Amino acid sequence: MSTPSDPAALYPDVAACGTLAEALRVAGAGCLDAVPAESPGSGSLLQASVASTLPHREPLRISAWQHERRWSVRGEEPYQVACLIDGETDDLAQVAAAARAWYDGDSLADIRRAAPFVHLTGHFEVPDLDPVRLVESEWRHLLQEAREPEHPWQEQYQALIEAAYAEPALRALYPFTSHWALRFSITTRPRLTLGSPCLSADSDGMYGVGRGFVTPDLGVFSSPHEAVARAVRRLPPDLAPVSLGLPL
């Protein structure tokens, strides 16, 4: 049987408070006193945000599910809009604990300790926007993502990411994925620069290398290491160090 889609029916306690932000304060039992929490006029029972004292953090976004009593959180950094933490829980008090830690500027690991439902994405914070550290953060995220079983051929994809990371010439580039294909840039987000070979894995256990997106016109190989070696040989010879991808 489906659950009610009326927010007031699914979240009567939130409706009694008027907004999700106010319900969050109540659930926090004082931990969010004097903390800026807001809900939009439209969808105020389903959405809330909590700012941070750190300028390199966007407000934590809290979203209520519409067909099941559950909440999701997402915390991003502003320059690349990279997700630092996310997670879902049916315990609003846990959401309040995560929001307080986010507001206080606690480390990402400490936020997870305060609210164990929080998932760390692998990204770490780079307040000074050092391109080298942003590259490292993106690799950390991809390595963690590849080890989480959400991809239909997760073992092959993980092997590809790890083989690419083991190659210094590729590890120095900014990695990103599109439809589970691995690509590289000499600028960070938000403005990527294409031009390097594209690596891909498939369900047959084969690994492709292409000049464009996904199409393996540079070869198909039975091991990720062979594919990575082929990609390295096709890198432009005059690659510059990675720089910040400046917004348009």
**Angle of the 131-146 helix axis to the 154-165 helix axis, nearest 10:** 150
pLDDT tens for each residue of 171-216? 999 999 987 789 999 999 999 998 889 999 988 889 999 988 778 8
| Domain stops at, among 87, 120, 153 | 120
- Residue 1 in this model has a pLDDT that exceeds 60: no
pLDDT tens for each residue of 106-143? 999 999 999 999 999 999 999 999 999 999 999 999 99
Structural domains of the chain, count? 2
* 144 located within any domain: yes
Compute the average pLDDT of residues 27-49.
Answer: 94
CA diameter of the chain = 64
Residue 212 DSSP SS3: coil
48 in the same domain as 103: yes
**Residues 6 or more apart whose Cβ sits within 8 Å of residue 205:** 153, 156, 222
Compute the average pLDDT of residues 157-170.
Answer: 96
110 in the same domain as 186: no
* 241 located within any domain: no
Which pLDDT does position 43 carry in this prediction? 80
* 169 located within any domain: yes
Segments forming the whole domain that contains residue 59: 7-120
| Domain stops at, among 76, 98, 120 | 120
Task: Report whether 14 contacts 20 (CB < 8 A).
Answer: yes
